[in-house]
Structure 1
Amino acid sequence: MRGYFRRPVAALVRRAELRTGLRWKLSAAIALVGALVAVALSLVVHNAARVSMLDNARDLADDRLVIAQRNYELSGRVNFPGARIDDPALPRELREKAAAGRRATYVSDRSGGATDIWAAVPLKDGHVMSLHSGFTDRSSVILKDLDQALVIGSIAVVLGGSAIGVLIGGQMSRRLRKAAAAANRVAKGETEVRVRDAIGGVVRDETDDLARAVDAMADALQQRLEAERRVTADIAHELRTPVTGLLTAAELLPPGRPTELVLDRAKAMRTLVEDVLEVARLDSASERAELQDILLGEFVTRRALAKDPEVRVRVVHESEVTTDPRRLERVLFNLLTNAARHGRPPVEVTVEGRVVRVRDHGPGFPEALLAEGPSRFRTGSADRAGHGHGLGLTIAAGQARVLGARLTFRNVRPVGAPARIPAEGAVAVLWLPEHAPTNTGSYPMLPDRPGRG
C-alpha cells in the first residue's frame, strides 16, 4: 500500500519552493524599503553636512581675506598668514572674477580627495590678493563620525523594520492560519464552526472581511445542500409507498416471464428507493454507531463467505475492534457487490489488524472515482442498464465515516507502468480507527487523491 501514499518528488519540491511565510515576505519588504530610505537619507544628510561645512569654511576664508586686505592697504606689505599677491596657482575662474573687480571664493577638489578653499580680492594697485586654505582635519573627522553614525543608524532602521515586519506579519499569518484551519473544519462538515470567531482579535482588518465572506459562503452552501438533501429524502419517502404497492401487486400476477420481469424491476426500484433514503440519512449527519467488540478477522470471514462462497478470505493478523457490526457489514457487502459487478474474479478479501482490503481483478476503478471519490448516480460505465446507480460505494463511504473509519480506492498496476497501461484490478481499503468512534456523524466527504500502486 505504500504506492497509494507516494507523491511525485518534483511536485513536492515545487510546493516547497512556492510556499513562503507571510511574515518573512512582509519583513523582507519592510527591510528593503527601510534600507532604501536609510541610504537615501544618509546621502542627503552627508551632502547637506558637507555643503554646510564648506560654506562655513568659505565664509571664514572671506573674513580672513578682508582682514589681510585691510592690513596690506594700511602697511603696504603682506603680513597675514597664507595671503599672497598674484599667486600663480590661483584658479582661472577666481582670477576672472577678480579681474572683473569682484571679491569671491572658490572650492576645488584635488585628485587625492583633498578639498582646497580659495578667496581672492582685487587691490587698488591692480594686483590680486588671494588666500589659500584646505578643508580642516576637524571637519573631516566630523564628517567621518557623521558617516559612521549614519551607517549605524541605517543598520538599526533595517533591523528594527525587519523585527516590526516579523511581528506584524506573524500576527497576520496567525490569523490567516486560524482562518484556514477553521475553513478546513467547515469543509469536513463541522457546520457549527465560524471562521470569524476562530480568528478572534480586537483589530478589524481585511482578514475579518475574508472570514465573514467565507462564513456567508459556507452558510449558503449548507442551506443549499440541506435543501437538496431534504428534497431527495422527501421524494424517496413518497416513492416508498407506491413502490411497495407495486411490488405487492406484481407478486399477485400469474406466474410467467412477464411477471418475473415486472417483479425484477419492482425489486430494483424498491432497492433504489431504500438506498436513496439511506444516503439522505447519512448526509443529514444524524447517524450514530452502536458499538460492540468483535474479532475483525472472524467477522469478515463469516460475512464475506455468506455473501459469496467464491470469495477468497485471508486473515493475516487478527485483532479485536470496537465498531458497529451492522454498518461494518453494510460496508463490506457493498464493496463485495461492487467488485463482483464491475470487476472480475477472483475477489480477494484480506484482513490485517484493523485494515480490510477488498480486491478484484477487473479493469479497475474509473479515473473520476479515484480523483473525486464515490458519487451518487455515477458508475463510470458507458452502459447504465444493469450496472447499478452509483450508490453502493457512496453508502459504503458514508457508513465508514459513521464508524470513524477511512475508505480509500486505488487501482493495481505493474510497478513503473505508465497510466495508459490497463489496471490489473481495483482495491478498496477500509481503515478502522484505533479507538472507538465518538461523534462520527456523516458529512460531505473530501476524497483523498490516491497515487498509483
Structure 2
Amino acid sequence: MRLRPPAWTATLTWKAAVFITVMCCALAALLGALVHVSVTRQTVNSARDKALSRLMNVTQTYEAGEPLPRFAGLDAPGLPEPLRILAESGRRGTMVGDFEGRPTMWAAGPADGRALAARVDYSLSQNTITNLDQAILGSSALAIGATLLVGAFAVTRVTRRLHLTAQVARRISAGDLDARVDDPRTKGRSRPQDEVATVSAALDTMAATLQAKLLSEQRFTADVAHELRTPLTGLSAAAELLPASRPTEMVRERVRTMRTLTEDLLEISRLDARTEQVDLAVHDLGPLVERVVRTAGSPNTAGTTGPMDTRGTPGATEVRIVRDAAVETDRRRLERVLGNLVSNAHRHGRPPVVLTMDGPAVTVRDHGPGYPPYLLEHGPQRFRTETAGPGGGKGHGLGLTIAAGQAAVIGAELVFGNAPDGGALARLTLPAYVPPAVSPVSPVVPQPPTGGRGDGRDGGADHPP
C-alpha cells in the first residue's frame, strides 16, 4: 500500500517554508563550521605556542641541572602515550589530553633518551570553544526562526492573493460574471506590479470581456425572440382561418413549433439574465408528479402509494412512487423541469419511460440509446440534440437546457447519466422540506383579581365576588 503525503504538503506556503528552512539551516551550518574551525584553530595554536615556550624553558632548566617546576617532569604521569613515543624518538610535539580530569595541552621533547614534558591548563580554551559552539547553535536557531516567520509572512501574502484570484476564477466559472479580483496594485499605472497582480489584471480583463460578449448575445437572443412573437401571433391566427386540409395541418404544426421555440428562447434569456424570482410554497410531491405526467399527455394510474404502472399503453409514462415527500419549491418551475424531462424521454428515447419518485428524488428513465457523451461531460448544449445511438432525433435542443436552468433556480440538483443496462437517466433531487419546530405553549392559569375600583387596575378597596 503506497502512502500518500497529506494534501497540505503540496501548498506553496509549505514548500516555501521547507525551502527557507533548508536554506537557512545550510547557511547556518556553513557559517557555524567556518567560525568554529577558525576560532578553534586560533585557540589551539595559542595554547600550543604557550606549551612549547614552557617546554623550551623547562629544557634549559633541565640542562642547567636545576629542579624542574611543578608543571613539568621526565616521563610525567598523565602524558599521552603517542606523545611519549614521539619524544623518545628524538622529536618534539604537542597534544591535547587530560591531567587529573582537566583538559591539558602537553608539549614533550627528548632528554637523555627519555621524554621531558611540560603542560598548560587547557580548560579556559576548551570552555571558550564550547561556549562559542553553543552561541553559534543558539544564534542559528534564532536566525532560522526569524527568517522563517518573515518568509512565511511574505509567502502568505502572496498565496492569499493567489487564493483570492482562484476563488474569483471559480465564481466566474460558476456563472458569476460580476466577480472581480480588484487587486489594488492594478489600479495605478505608477505603482509597480508583481506577477500576481499581472495575473489578477488579466483575469479581470478576461471576465469583463466575456461578460460583455455574453450580455450582447443575451440581448440579441431576447430581442430576436421578442420581435418574432408579434408576427408569429398573427401567423398563428391566420393559420386557424385556413380551411381544414393536410397542408393546413402542416402549416399549423410548423407555426406551433416556431412559437414554442420563440417562448423557449425568451425563457432562456431570462435564465441567463438571472432575473428569475421563485414563488416558494410547500407541496406534496406525489400528486404534483402525477399531474405533470397527465399534462404531458401520458396516462397514468391514480393513487399515491406503491408502484404505479401504465404498462401496455403506447406512449405512456410508468409512474412509481416509492415514498412520498413534501417539498418547498416553485410549483410552476418544477412542473416545467419534469415536463421537459418526460417529453425529452418520449421524443428521443424508447419506451417504456419510467418516472420514479423516492422521497425528494425524482428519476426519469427511458430505454433508448442514452445520452451522448458530450452531454454527460459538459451538460445540455443549445441547438444540439443528437442522441447517443445512430439515427437519433433532432430538435432545437432547448428542453434540457431549460430544465437545467430552472432546476438551478429552485435550488434542485439535476444529474444526467445512462443506466447500466441501457437508456437515458435523469435524476432531480429537490431540497427536502423540514417543518419549523413549534415550541410548546405553556397553559395560561387564570389569576384571582387583586381588587380595585372599576376594572381592578386601580388601587382601592376590594369588592366581594
TM-score (norm: length of structure 1): 0.71
Check whether the contact 2:415–2:428 (CA below 8 A) recurs between aligned residues.
yes
| Offset at residue 365 of structure 1 (A) | 1.1
Check whether the contact 2:61–2:67 (CA below 8 A) recurs between aligned residues.
yes
Unpaired segments of 5 or more residues in structure 2? 75-83, 98-102, 110-115, 186-191, 300-315, 435-465
Distance 2:203 2:154 in 1: 23
Structure 2 vs 1, CA of residues 373 and 19 (structure 1 numbering), >3 Å: closer, same or farther? farther
User: Which amino acid in the other structure matches residue 429 of structure 1?
Assistant: R
Partner residue in 1 for 2:208:
219
| Offset at residue 220 of structure 1 (A) | 1.7
Give a deviation string over 1:49-77, Cα, whole Å, max 9, x none. Answer: 112113323543565577679989xx967
Query: Is 1:326 aligned with 2:332?
Result: yes
After TM superposition, the structure 1 = structure 2 runs for residues 40-439 of structure 1, keeping only pairs within 5 Å, are 40-61=30-51, 64=54, 89=86, 136-196=122-182, 206-307=195-296, 308-309=298-299, 310-381=316-387, 387-413=394-420, 423-434=421-432
Structure 2 vs 1, CA of residues 335 and 136 (structure 1 numbering), >3 Å: closer, same or farther? same
Partner residue in 2 for 1:32:
22
With CA pairs under 8 Å and 6+ residues apart, which has the higher RCO, 1 or 2?
1
Give a deviation string over 1:152-211, Cα, whole Å, max 9, x none. Answer: 444454455555555555554444434433433333233443333799xxx986544433
| Offset at residue 372 of structure 1 (A) | 0.7
Distance 2:433 2:195 in 1: 41
Distance 1:16 1:79 in 2: 76
Check whether the contact 2:384–2:397 (CA below 8 A) recurs between aligned residues.
yes
State the SS of the aligned residue for 1:364. Answer: coil
Give a deviation string over 1:341-384, Cα, whole Å, max 9, x none. Answer: 11111112122332222111222111111111111111134889
Partner residue in 1 for 2:439:
none
CA RMSD for the aligned pairs?
4.1
Which of these two proteins has the greater Rg computed from alpha carbons? 2
User: Which amino acid in the other structure matches residue 430 of structure 1?
Assistant: L
State the SS of the aligned residue for 2:182. Answer: helix
| Offset at residue 334 of structure 1 (A) | 0.5
Partner residue in 2 for 1:100:
none
TM-score (norm: length of structure 2): 0.69
Unpaired segments of 5 or more residues in structure 1? 1-9, 96-104, 121-129, 414-422, 437-453
State the SS of the aligned residue for 1:195. Answer: coil
State the SS of the aligned residue for 1:314. Answer: strand
Distance 1:91 1:397 in 2: 102
Check whether the contact 2:362–2:427 (CA below 8 A) recurs between aligned residues.
yes
User: More helix per residue: 1 or 2?
Assistant: 1
Structure 2 vs 1, CA of residues 263 and 386 (structure 1 numbering), >3 Å: closer, same or farther? farther
Structure 2 vs 1, CA of residues 106 and 254 (structure 1 numbering), >3 Å: closer, same or farther? farther
Distance 1:424 1:62 in 2: 99
User: Which amino acid in the other structure matches residue 432 of structure 1?
Assistant: L
User: Which amino acid in the other structure matches residue 371 of structure 2?
Assistant: F
- Which stretch shifts more, 225-234 or 138-147? 138-147
